[in-house]
Structures are given as structure tokens and as C-alpha cells.
Chains A and B, each alone.
Chain A
Amino acid sequence: MLSQLRTIWEVFKHSTVKPDTVSYPEEKPYLAPRYRGRIVLTRDPDGEERCVACNLCAAVCPVDCIALQQTQDERGRWRAEFFRINFSRCILCGLCEEACPTYAIQLTPDVELCEYDRQNLVYEKEHLLISGTGKYHDYNFYRRAGKDVGVKERGTGETEAEPVNVRSLLP
């Protein structure tokens, strides 16, 4: 009996507090920057595409909704020839972002992925690529990698020594 009264009291009490829900879509809730929503491809601080088409995001994707093909420019920089995400399959798990070694693929707080036609949920590279660096502002993979693709001279990376002179006889 006491328990039932207590329940009724609690219900009445709640009728006077401010609700947690908001009247979406007129009113938008706050979503943290690290919220897992629509996926984007970002650029490095120099404005170049970060994605090196290494395929790790596609490999880790549990629903296999990422497909891409690598290509190379004349300096040897790897890029995606095409990069396709089928958002009608995506479960927004964020594993691709965790797998990405270059911070290229990032999830954004935009969760408004609704279409009348499923075909419109297939995003190509031009739909995914943004002009900014996303959540990580300073990282440029090619400044740390051993491969030189025109970003840095050989042996001038953050952790690299001068190239060895292989003709030298000095110990």
C-alpha cells in the first residue's frame, strides 16, 4: 500500500519537472563534438586530403559499408580514387575512425541521415570530403611517415636522421 502511494507521488512529482526530451526537430538537442554521427573525410593542416586509401577503415567495418580504391599521384602520394560509404548500412559504430592511422575519417555530431530514397544514402568521396581538419588540427601523417611524397624532404621528418651516404667509408 505504502509502495503504491509512493509510486503515485513520484509520478505526480515528475509532472512538474522540466522534461529531458526536446521537441525535435523544432528544437535541436546538444550533441557533443565526439558524438558518433555522419562520417566525413578531413584534410590535413596543409589543405591536402588526409586519406591515404590504406583500407583499414573498410577492413574494420563490421557491416562492410566502406569501399574505396587507392591511386597514386606523380609524387607517390596515396589517395582514394573513389571512396564510398553506404550509409543505409552504416551502424555509426565509429570503428573506422579508431582504425584510421591518419585521422582522415571522422564521425560528426550530425545524425540527420534520412532520405525517402535509399540510393541517396550512398555517399561518394565528394560528399564526404570537408575542407577542414575536423577534431584533430595539427596532424599530418606524411610528416611522420618514412615515405616522401613532396610533403617533406627525405630525412627531414620529425623523427628522421639525414639520409645515409652509402658511398662513405667512415664507420
Chain B
Amino acid sequence: MPRIRIDGQAYEVKEGLNLLQACLGLGLNLPYFCWHPALGSVGACRQCALLQYRDEEDRQGRLVMGCMTAVADGQILSLKADKARHFRAGVIEALMTNHPHDCPVCEEGGECHLQDMTVMSGHHHRRYRGRKRTFVNQDLGPFINHEMNRCITCYRCLRFYRDYAGGEDLHALASRNHTYFGRASDGPLESEFAGNLVEVCPTGVFTDKPLSQSYTRKWDLQHAPSICVHCSLGCNISPGERYGRLKRVQNRYHHGINGYFLCDRGRFGFGHVNHPERPQQPLVRENGRLRPVAASEGLAELARRLETTERWIGIGSPRATLESNLALRELVGADHFFTGLGSHPNALNRALLELLRLPGVNTPSLREIEACDALLLLGEDITQSAPRMALSVRQAVRGAGRDRAAALNIPPWQAQSVQIAGQNARHPLFISHVTATRLDPIAEATYRASPQEQAALAFAVAHCLCPEAPAPEGLDEQAQSLAEKIAEALLHAKRPLIVTGPSSGALPLVEAAGQVARALLNARPAEACPPALIPVFAECNSLGLTLLTQDAAEADLEQAFALSEHGPVGAIILENDLFRRAPGPLVQGFLERLTQRIVIDSIPSPTLNAADLVLPATSFAESQGTLINNEGRAQPLFPVHALHAERRNSWQWLAAVAGHRALKGFASPADALATCVTAAPELAPLSQALPSAAHPFTRLAVPRMPHRNSGRTAAGANLDVREDQQPQDHDSCLTFSMEGAPAPWLSRQSGIGARLPFSWYPGWNSNQAVHKFKDAVDGPLRGGESGMRLDLVCRDNGWHRPLPVDTEAQGLLAVVQPAIFGGEELSNLAAPVFQRAALPCLRIHPDDAPAWSVADGDRVLVRGASAATELPLRVDPRVARGIALLPPTCPPLGTGPTRVSLRSLGSDPLIATDHPEPTDG
């Protein structure tokens, strides 16, 4: 380990770092702009200058840029030397010459890296008397504000947007101090990760647009360590609340999962929490109308109704916490608990869980995905269904460039040199999907075919890798050669990765993904790195629900429907809109047959409208519970703000029932978690999260608010001038207050990682303060991060036999295409996300159109086995033949894989005004 001396103090630092990383890792304050821990160094801003001395005798020293100088043994440096300090102050003075007088009306103010660095380098008096350069802004869509006057030309935005996230529509225009970062013309930023510009930009050029409509400074927001509920990846987020409304979501660092970045659905999709039609208090149906009542009355009503009917069924939900699902299962009994999913999605979830159980196969975290060097995406458009994973896959593909640079001894943080050495080299990425995906441009080869044909391709890959794996029949020559190519790439890769998911709706495809991993394990030498296989699930707690119900013989929605036909039965429906799960007529019939319909939910839905009793559940922002992500990592959710008087966690409603149905083991969140630990043997590692073990690191509570939080004696004074006690949190180590452990003290505690509600440190107001809570700049948070991986029991089910591709079937196979915007229940209630959603339409291949006498732009009646719907039609050459690609908002047309027929209803007025579609290439 190199030993360096900074300002007379000797330090030992890690090899391979640059001086800026080393200084920040040592806790020293060295200002910087263009460097970013995930984007590396380019040496553009000249802000991190320090003085390096030749030897002990040298009194002059020379200025070096911290971010561009590697640490070396025996270096003698100074941060505090006058020469270095004056240089840094001069640089910031020059950067500030054109900066506008905007801070009071800037959304970045109070968490601005430029403000922090200006204060840090001591520039406080403006000497420049010239005119300031100005720019005309652009409209960048519903997510991002553009205010170019504030730019300091650090190029971080482009380095993130173009190099890291693969976006193409943000450019640098003009030159010198006229450099402009924008699009060719106004319009929404196309990348799914554009929201990260809010945090990447060190000043206020790109700011959070939904937040600026009702803005609150960071210091006034109440935060909690929370988990994103908009897909199955479980990214860590830090939501901010003020006056009872959720204002924004920011990234919360998690070394293994999201790192520094979120997707736009996760960042801007929280609107369901503030939705005006959200149930605010219990509703009881009287004379056909729902009447709001107090919580106590709602509870009494629940108890009364539970007594009136003997038989109850409980319908769980993949978007409810583990605790809520378990409480319902305990209340109604395991035999009467259903997942709220049809038999087919349940079977898919179980098959995906089997993939996690494959012995010898590695389940990678998103960070580990970034190190993979041959990737096969099978039937899942991850940009739409698990977007943050697509960003990791992009880094994996770029890894070829990093490897080339490493071979030339270029350190990985030398971003520009790595890029030049890499020459856009890519690791092989193979994508098999029913239509084009956003990752296609960086793929080595793509395969567009029906899910059965894709499964056949994957089985062929497995057969090429390991002859023991049964070969599929009837694969055409082109697919066969592609299979050989994929097998070759996976076999010779250091860390091969296979990704699959449920969106294709094909069980054989999921099994085939496991087959490839198994074949790969057999084909590769024992000492080689084990192949990685990662499934994506549909919702935030799909895996948790699957783990709870994996052994149940009858847990499908169809069986619940059947049960309701035999005698009177009441149902408790937990956070689930059944009309999204099964064809409308079936759900309607089911609801009508029930004697009692009790719905517990946090959002408005058609199911909720049909209820006799509605109990308002908490949204993720008020919930305390556990979610299990796609890799089997259980992560705790903490409430951001105290409970609204009439709302409860779903499990709390159920636990409050007295009498012979009273639940044991749900007295408090800790109690509920302890009950979860015993619910299934594989959930045992959850006990590490129990309060006894949860915060051994601190006796002082962790404040949810920054210490400067304001307005405590005025915020509620309009209601009553006497101030209430602050809400108390007896269930976690966090407080609903600005009082508690001070940040510097907290930053030294070893267990802080999982419980950091927001990052703030004296002098570091922006989210970049996070390095103060790490031991090394490129490492995890001090004491590890939130969540623990479950010990899933390994199980080998042997080789799967490929089914022959069904060529005789009539009709088009319905496949629902997931969508990042407009494709998920909760985020659809957020106005900005809904604005970005594409017009829902049916897509078919041009060759399929004549058989059904339909044409592009028609309105068509799509008829499935049990339901029909009308949709505008797009004829799209990118869709595989024989597929009817349905929009994510389409209600289910049948149970399981459904074939549909089409009938034209004349041309569609909506689609005529839509923009023309881009074609392939």
C-alpha cells in the first residue's frame, strides 16, 4: 500500500486510486466538479488542484490535478498550501463569472455542489463586472427543467447521458464559453435515465420539474431509507416529504444494487402517494354508496363483517409487503390464501424462483452484472420491465473497452483515455425478444421470434454447450447458427450472464434460460467463474409472495374463483386490482358471487369501487415492512412520515381484529417481522433485521430531517397555535425530527449504511456527501448496506425437454409488452410518468395484417378466450410474425397464454394524430 504525506500527516492509501479519490476516502475536503465516482476523471474543471513536492527539500512544489494523478509511494502533498488554495479560489471565481444571481429561485439551492465548493474554496466576493453570458433554454419534457445560464461546463451531463447511459439526443453545441448542453430541438429527453442528470449536474442546469411545481428545500424535507416499489430490482431510494405530501425521490446509494443512479420511473413515479382519489379513510357501503367513516368505526365494521360469514378467502398481492401478505394468510388460513395472480403468472414466478435455486449458478447483483463479459437476454425487455438493470447491462457491454484499457495499464478512472483505448469495443450481448428493444443498438445479434421459437433457440444454445441437454426440433438454419454463436461466446467468456423474466409469458422460455445456465456450468472447466443467471420479476415483492406460497397446492386466482361457486364466501382483497389479473367478466362474476368484499388498498381501482368495506392502506412512504427483490434480497422499508390518522399498514388493519380471529405475532413491526422469519425456512436470515440486531451501532436516534429543518412552530399553527408533540417512532432507530445523532458522529458508526435517510455532512449539502459515509470512495457504505440475501435451498431439476413449436394454432399469440412509462400500476398514477407513456396500441407484423383484413391505423377488436378489447393498430415490421403485441394497460383477454383474433372497426381517429412510427435500423 502506497504511503503518502499530506500536509505533514502520513497516510496509507489503496493502490490504483487517484489523489482525489484518496483524499476524499481519507475524509479530507478537496473540492471538485467534473470528477464523479461512477464517471471517472477527465481533468476538465481544474478544481481539485493540490501541491506536490519533489522531495523533503522542495519548498516550491508544483500544482497537480488530484483527479488526474495516481497515488504513488512517497508522495509529499499539500492541500492547504497557499499556492494551491489560491489556485482553487481563482478557478472557482472564473467559473462563477457567468453564474446568474439565481440561488433563491433555483431548485438546486441548499443541495448544490457548486454552492458547497464555492464556500469550500473561499470565494465570496465577486470582482467580475462584465456582462454575464446567457442562453435560451429548451423544454426537455415533463421530468427535467433546463436552465442553461447556470452551466459551468463540467461535461458531467454528457458523460453520464451519452457515455454511461447510452443516450443520443443530448449534445454539446457551440464552443468555448458558449458551450451549450441540449437537444437539437425542444422535446423530452429520450433516455430512461435522464432523471439522474438532476443529481449528476453539480449545479442547477438540470433540475427536478415535478418538484419545482411545489418546491421544498432539501433541508425541509423529511426522509427515510426506503425501497423503490416500481419494479422487482429493489433500488434504494430516499423519498422526501413535507406537509404530508411526498415531494421527490432521490437516489440512496446501495453498492450492490443501484449505485448512484435510478431510472426515471423510480424517480418520478411516486404520484400515487399524493393521488387525490386515494382512499383517505375507511369507506363502508350503505345503500349502494361508499360512506367515509372513522378508523375505529372501520375496524368495528371489519370485525362485524368477519363474524357474519363463516368462510373467508384472502387474496394477497405481489406489491404488498411480506408482513401484509403473511398477516392475511394467517387470518384466513393457508388453505384459503391466494396470491392474487392467475395460475400462469404463478407458474412463471415459481419457474423463475427455480432459476435462483440452480446449484452452482451465481445470482449476480446489478454491480456484478457490470463485470460480466457475455450476455444473453432471453425474452425480457429489461429497459421496460427492470430499467436499472439495463443501465448495468450497458456498463457490462462497455466493459470490453475497459478491459483493453486495463491491458494497456490505463487506470480505470482515466475516463477519456479508457474511452480512446476502448474504441467502442463491446462485449457480446445477444437479445432474443418478440420485438425491438432499446438495447438492440449495442447488441451483437438479435433474434425476433415468438416465445416458443425463442425457447427453442435457448434450448439449442444449451445443446451446443452440452450435448447431454436435449436438442429442440425444427429449428431453422439461421437460428441454429445463431445458437452456435451464442454458445461460443458464453463458453469463452470469463463471466457469462443470462437474464430472463416473465414478460414473454412463456414457461418454456424461463426453463430454457435455466437449461442454458446448467449446460454452461457443465461445459465450463470447474475452476472457471460460475455462470450468472438473473431472473427479473414482475413486481416489487413478487418473489416474497412466491416464497410464501410456493408449497401451497391451490394459490391461483382461478381456484379462488372456483371456491366462490361452492357456498357463501367472503373475501379480503389485499392491495390488488383483480381486473388487471384476470379477464373482466370472470372477475365481475367472482365479485358478485362473494357475500362480503373487503378491500385494503392505497390506490383507487375498479376492484376498490366494488368493495363493501374499504380500508385505506399506507403507501410505501408510510409503510414499515419487508420487500424481497429479484435476487432474493430482503430489504426493509421505513416510513418517511408518520401515519395519517385514518390509514394503517395493511397488516395493522388485520392485526387489530379481536375475538377468535385475532392474530398472534403482529403487535408491532418487529413482531410482524419475527413472525415472517418463522413463516418459511428460507426467510430465516431475516432475523438479522430484527430490532435486537437492527441498530446495535447507536443509542442516539437517526434523524429523518436535516438539522436545519424549519417551520416547526408555524407549520401546523393555522390549525392550532399550541404545538403538538412530534410524532414518535417506537419501531425503528429513526425519529420524525431533526433531533438525534449529528451527521459527523453518525458517519463514524459502523452500521450506518442501511439506515441513512439522506446524505448530508457539514460542508457537503448535495447528495455527493455520500462519500463521507464510506470507507473508500469506490466501496460500499460503512458497515454494509440495507437488505440481506436469503439462503435459497439449491435444487437441480435435471434437463428440460423442449416442446415442439406449435405451428397449427389459430390466431395470433397475445404477448403483453412491458413499458417503463405507462406500464406499471402505481407509476401510472403519477402525472409526469403518464405524460411520457406512448399511445396504447396493438402491434403486429406486416405479414400478419392481410390474413385478418386489417391495416395500419385501424381500430381493431381484439378478441381473446374470455374477453375482448378495442385498440388502435400499428403494423410494425419489428414485431415477430404470429404475435399480437398488446400494450401494458390492456386488460387480460384470457387466462394463460392466449391466442387472439382481430377484426377491423374502421380507421382510428386517435392514431391519425399520432406521430409516424420509426422503422427498424
Contact = CB atoms under 8 A, between A and B. Distances in A.
Interface stretch (A27-35, A106-114, A152-160): A152-160
Nearest to A85: B714
A52 B104 contact: yes
A86 B220 contact: no
Given A59-B219, A81-B214, A124 B105 contact: no
Contact of B717 (A71, A84, A167, A168): A84
Contacts of B217: 55, 59
A144 B212 CA distance: 21
A65 interface: yes
Contact of A122 (B131, B214, B721): B721
A71 to B, nearest CB: 6
A11 interface: no
Contact of A64 (B147, B175, B711): B711
A171 B100 contact: no
A71 B213 contact: yes
Interface string B375-411: 0000000000000000000000000000000000000
B105 A147 contact: yes
A147 B102 contact: yes
Contacts of B717: 67, 84, 86, 122
Contacts of B150: 146
B116 to A, nearest CB: 16
Sort chain B's interface into a size bin: 35 or more
Interface stretch (B133-141, B686-694, B806-814): B133-141
A72 B213 CA distance: 6
Contacts of A58: 220, 710-711
Listed residue (B106, B173, B242, B711) with the most chain A CB atoms within 10 angstroms of its CB:
B711
Contact of A145 (B100, B133, B243): B100
A155 B134 contact: yes
A22 B212 CA distance: 51
A147 B108 CA distance: 13
A40 interface: no
A163 B212 CA distance: 24
A21 B136 CA distance: 61
A72 B212 contact: yes
A71 B105 contact: no
Interface residues of A, number: 51
A115 B640 CA distance: 37
A161 B133 contact: yes
A78 B145 CA distance: 14
Nearest to B179: A166
Contacts of B149: 146-147
A65 B214 contact: no
Contact of B710 (A53, A66, A119): A66
Given A164-B135, A166-B135, A84 B714 contact: yes
A78 B101 CA distance: 15
Listed residue (A72, A86, A121) with the most chain B CB atoms within 10 angstroms of its CB:
A86
A55 B173 contact: no
Nearest to B150: A146
A56 interface: yes
B720 interface: yes
User: Which 6 interchain pairs have the tightest Cβ spacing?
Assistant: A146-B100, A67-B711, A54-B104, A67-B714, A58-B710, A146-B149
Interface of B: 100-106, 109-110, 131-136, 147, 149-150, 173-176, 178, 180, 182, 212-217, 219-220, 242-243, 708, 710-715, 717-718, 720-722
Interface of A: 52-56, 58-59, 61, 63-72, 78, 81, 84-86, 88-89, 101-102, 118-119, 121-122, 124, 141, 144-147, 149, 154-155, 159-168, 171
10 contacts: A67-B711, A70-B216, A78-B105, A86-B714, A124-B718, A146-B134, A147-B147, A149-B105, A166-B135, A171-B176
Given A64-B712, A66-B711, A118-B721, 6 more contacts: A67-B714, A81-B214, A121-B721, A145-B101, A146-B100, A147-B106
